[in-house]
Every structure is written in structure tokens, then in C-alpha cells.
Amino acid sequence: MSPRRTHPADRSPHASLDHPRTRQAFRGAKLLVGSYAGLSLLTLVAIILLRKHHDIVTDAVRVRAGVVVATSLLMASFVTRAARGHSRSYLRLRLASGVMLVVIAAVIALPGAFPVWLKVEQGVCGVLLAGVVLIVNSKRVRSAFASR
């Protein structure tokens, strides 16, 4: 006898989140967000260590680093809670990752606003966040939260 197939509307709200591919997607998103947070924290440590070098650590660099660390830690919270089924955290993760990706593109594109080393670091952050954006906006992950 073959297993009974159920219509998506008949499934429990957590059925889609329990699917192996959905769990794998969230593992990937957690890894990317964790890498983003780790890189952001390392950058902040480097800024603290190089604080006397005003040519490479400007006020704009310090402010940007603080904002990036704060948002990366918030996103780590969002992805953890979203993986557990919290739809508001999922929405926040989608919004924050998309907005930060756009802001990173602007930081890289603005001539002279930031030193080259920070633009390179932000480029790496952008690649990590692009992965997050692709994962959390994928059909599989969106459908896991569609009925919530």
C-alpha cells in the first residue's frame, strides 16, 4: 500500500518546516548569517586595534562597523527563530537581509566614502547576504510560512 499523499492545506503548520530540504535551507541560512556576524565582529576588532590609524579607520568606518555588527546579530536571532517556525522572525530576516544587501551595494558604489579595505569586507558580507536572500526567498522556504 502506498503512503497517503496529503494536500498542502491539510498538513500541519510545521510540516513544511520539518521537511529535510527546508531544514537544510535553514542550516545554510544559519551558516551564512553566522559567517556574516563573525566577519562583522572580526572587522570591529580590527577597527579597535587600528583606531590610531585615522587614515584607514575613519568615523564613517566606525559607525558603519557598529551598524553592521548590530544588524548581523539581529539577523542571527531572526534566522534562529525563523527556523523554529516564528513567522515574524522570518519576515524580519527577509527584510533585514534584503535591505542590508542594498545598503552594502551603496557602500561599495559610493566613491570616496569608505576606504577600499572596508569596501572589500563589505563585498564579502554582500556575497554572504546574497546567499541568505536567495535561501529565505526560495519557493520552499516561502511555502513553509505561507499558511502561517
Residue 2's pLDDT band, with cuts at 50, 70 and 90, is very low
| CB-facing half-sphere around the CA of 142: CA atoms within 13 A | 7
94: which residues sit within 8 A by CB, 6+ positions away? 133, 136, 137
pLDDT, one tens digit per residue, over 7-63 is: 444 344 444 888 889 899 999 999 999 999 999 999 999 999 999 998 899 999 999
Task: State the chain's mean pLDDT as an integer.
Answer: 89
- CA angle (99, 102, 108) in 5-degree steps: 140
pLDDT greater than 60 at residue 120: yes
How far, in Å, CA of 40 to CA of 4, rounded? 48
CA gap 66, 58 in Å, rounded: 13
Mean pLDDT for 80-102 is 96
